Amino acid sequence: VNEFVNWKKMKWSNVFCGKTLKVTCVNVYDGDTCTFTTDDISVRFKCDDEAYECQPIEFKLRMADINTAELRTGNEQELAREQRDYVRAALIGCTTLYVRLRGFDKYGRFLGYVYLNESDMLADHSFNAYMIEQDICKKYGEWYVYRLSFSATSSVSTNIV
């Protein structure tokens, strides 16, 4: 059963808020929206008196407190692709990712913070904050009024503390 679950509409979804999960990044849509899987939680449900359990769980996450250029907007597309490629290079294939869930956005996606390894998670130094510090993206609410200068092919340290 690999159908999309609208977590926001599920009454028990607040159970996950504030939780930290070990995850694998399976897709990066743009610089601030990714899809992750985790074995740390499972969903149990009944259908026609049959019990089912789904694990691993796949979910979309909007990275909290950051803003990247939009892929759908004509004048931001080049920057959006560079930001997306930077995040892909950092997260896809990383074996030590953690996500701390904070809540939901208006589209029903989880909001949260991404950590590249356990020491960053323990120090509460998120990849979200790192991207702001490195001028790869803006804080949420700030607009792009200038061209960011970074290389999407530059490497990302696995320890950003």
Is residue 85 within 8 Å of 30, Cβ to Cβ? Answer: no
pTM score: 0.77
Question: Cα–Cα distance between 15 and 18 in angstroms, integer?
Answer: 8
Q: Is the pLDDT of residue 53 over 90?
A: no
- Alpha carbon of residue 78 to chain centroid: 21
Sign of CA dihedral 55, 5, 64, 18: negative
DSSP character for 39? S
Backbone phi and psi for residue 119, each to the nearest 5 degrees, phi listed first: -65, -35
64-112 tens-digit pLDDT: 999 999 888 778 889 999 999 999 999 999 999 999 999 888 888 889 9
pLDDT band at 17 (very low <50, low <70, confident <90, very high): confident
**Cα of 84 vs its chain's centroid, Å:** 12
